[in-house]
Chains A and B, each alone.
Chain A
Amino acid sequence: MKIENPDVLIIGAGAAGAAAAWSLSQTKLKIVCLEQGGFMNPDEYPSTKVGWEAMKYDKFNVSPNVRNLKSDYPINDSESPIAIANYNAVGGSTILYSGHFPRFHPSDFKVKDLDGVADNWPMSYYDLEPFFNLNDKMMGVSGLSGDPAYPTIDGMFPPIPFGEMGEVMAKGFNKLGWHWWPSYSAIITREYMHRGKCINLGPCNMGCPQGAKSSTDITYWPIAKRNGVDLRTNCRVREITVDINGKLTGAIYYDENGKECFQSAKIVLVACNGVGTPRLLLNSKSKFFPDGLANRSGLVGKNLMLHPLGYVEGLFEQELNSNLGPHGCLMQSQEFYETDKSRGFVRGYTMQLLRGPGPIETAISAVSRRDIPLGLSHHDALQKTLGKNIGIGIIVEDLPEEHNTVTLDPNITDSNGIPSPKINYILSDNSKKMLVHGIKKSKEVMIEAGAYKTISFGPVRNTGWHLMGTAKMGIDPNTSVVNQFGESHDVKGLYIVDSSVFVTSGGVNPASTLQAVALYICDKIKNNYKVV
């Protein structure tokens, strides 16, 4: 349904944009959403092909710079040890995420009070709790209640099976007396709505043709569209516009034919992620906002947080079938999540257990490390590794620092001629200490579980999925970009609903929390505009 004069314009149809579109579609508001990518065709996902694993080196690569699709924009991340990962389509990065879906913890919202670092959020875990629950219901989440690392979480589907490898690791954690828990997974283990249950295809992070992984193209969008949201695909927004008085007017975008168009709106919601959102705001310069829209604090693009990731792999003698099942959803340990200053750092990290890679990745990484030779004994050595390796990803809480930035690159543009983002990022000493600690502890549990060899490294380069903090939320207009309800301090009616508004990063994957934040903000919008 084509809407000419919408009340609301949403920019971006990913994790946050989809949740926001659905939430506001519960009202009589007229809503348009502009998305630079198109709809995915599940029949074309890699796991429908024999050579599925090879596709991650091409159009299902995590880096937009490698994929180089029409929907992508280049990102200069040469000044960062962590490369940016994303996906541009209806569903955004939920198309390629692993579906690991833990929530932030209560302590994540008050790190200033607890640990004297960064800032507190202007909301608590318990303010967000109803929206976490609502989001779980809309997305479809599997897991188990009773986790001592969290306040009670109910209403989930049964957890993803953890198999032989999970048992081996569970015993290792138990020997050490450490916490572990089956993953909170945005993957359904029972049929739900029109979606099939998980059948352990494996490469969830290349799209799920079964529809079991909860990407927003199949969760929120079908309902939001049915409720009347006008979702326009292959439309890339160049800038958000204001009139001569600095009042919000709408946005200029390029449609699928490259034609420049203007879309008016009374309210604009930006949901382009922690890199795309500051890029758009910085590209939206005017007489009123010469340094970029909503940037009177000077903080747009600053405080970028990326979750540096450490990796430990354990090799086992016995057959574990570790290459089968949802790659990123198995179990997690939050033994070292909360601050213990005796460790030499503040805050903490999650150990995310990962299933073993497929044959290509196993062969390439082991051959390059010289663990698997070429020649006569190659096949025997590969058989001794494939299905017998288990990974641990160490997701460390990244504290905000103003020198970690998204700016505009003066030399690179996308296919519409819009300046591209440039990333400047360095790891803090606190993050480095956490990585060292996490790697040491992960090796310890691998050995306890029976691994005969471990391999470790970090930070892992191609893991910059978690893009946070570049349009910080707060009460004070001098130290934040948006207020506690996501509205710009500088521009009435301009809201940011993605993880750009995060004050801190937590030590878990952010998708669940960013969607809860989007629903929270939309709830306030509905109340403010009395449109419920």
Chain B
Amino acid sequence: MEIFNKNELEKLDIILKLILPNINTNMPDANLILNDLDINNKIHYKFIEASKELCFKIEKIENQEDLDILKKRNFRDFSNFVNSSLILYYSNKEVLKNLKVGSTPPFPEGNYVKEGDIYLLEQVFLKEKMYTD
């Protein structure tokens, strides 16, 4: 069974491209999150719910102007949808690869963190005892 119908998919495709577009960056459009949705995954399910709720409330969406009206009229639903979209977008391997976020996933590679100049502690080290005994 398809998660979204054709009409919903068209609307979501436009909204996602408007909120996180691929223009002059190496970051992909946000509509990539519509691929590989898993209804049994709680986080995906929240996105699906938020998407359906939003699609139900719009008749047409073609451009930024329509999006601004949608946001104004359905602020809470729109915020839920945006938050769910950001969670899925910034969990995507292709997206993370293009951001400087260190190893993806973090384990087992780990990350390099500079030691830091421990001699900056000199003036603290020389302080008098600070604790009350």
Contact = CB atoms under 8 A, between A and B. Distances in A.
B23 interface: yes
Interface stretch (B3-11, B54-62, B122-130): B122-130
Contacts of B88: 54
B127 A148 contact: yes
Interface residues of A, number: 71
Given A49-B105, A376-B23, A325 B111 contact: yes
B131 A364 contact: no
A354 B87 CA distance: 22
Which of A59, A323, A379 has most B Cβ within 10 Å?
A379
Given A52-B106, A201-B106, A201-B107, A360 B91 contact: yes
A375 B107 contact: no
Nearest to A165: B116
Interface of A is mostly: loop
Interface string A139-172: 0000010101111000000010111101100110
Contacts of A321: 100, 102, 113-114
Contacts of A179: 124, 127, 130
A177 B96 CA distance: 40
Contact of A54 (B27, B43, B131): B43
A355 to B, nearest CB: 9
Contacts of A387: 100
A114 interface: yes
Contacts of A149: 130-131
Given A200-B111, A202-B111, A338-B131, A167 B116 contact: yes
B20 A374 contact: yes
Contact of B107 (A47, A55, A161): A47
A199 B108 CA distance: 9
B36 to A, nearest CB: 11
B64 to A, nearest CB: 7
A359 B19 CA distance: 16
Given A163-B116, A200-B111, A374 B82 contact: yes
A210 B103 CA distance: 14
A63 to B, nearest CB: 14
Contact of B99 (A146, A202, A210, A386): A386
Interface residues of B, number: 55
Given A50-B96, A324-B102, A106 B133 contact: yes
Contacts of B117: 167, 170
Contact of B91 (A51, A107, A146, A368): A51
Contacts of B43: 54-55, 57-58
B39 to A, nearest CB: 14
Contacts of A324: 102, 111-113
A50 B91 contact: yes
Contacts of A334: 130
Nearest to B83: A364
Given A148-B130, A161-B115, A167-B120, A50 B93 contact: yes
Considering the complex of A and B, which 8 residue pairs feature the smallest CB-CB distances, nearest first? A199-B110, A51-B91, A162-B116, A201-B106, A107-B132, A170-B120, A47-B106, A359-B90
20 contacts: A48-B107, A50-B93, A50-B104, A52-B106, A54-B90, A54-B91, A105-B132, A148-B124, A149-B130, A161-B114, A163-B115, A179-B127, A182-B121, A199-B109, A199-B110, A200-B111, A321-B100, A359-B95, A375-B18, A386-B101
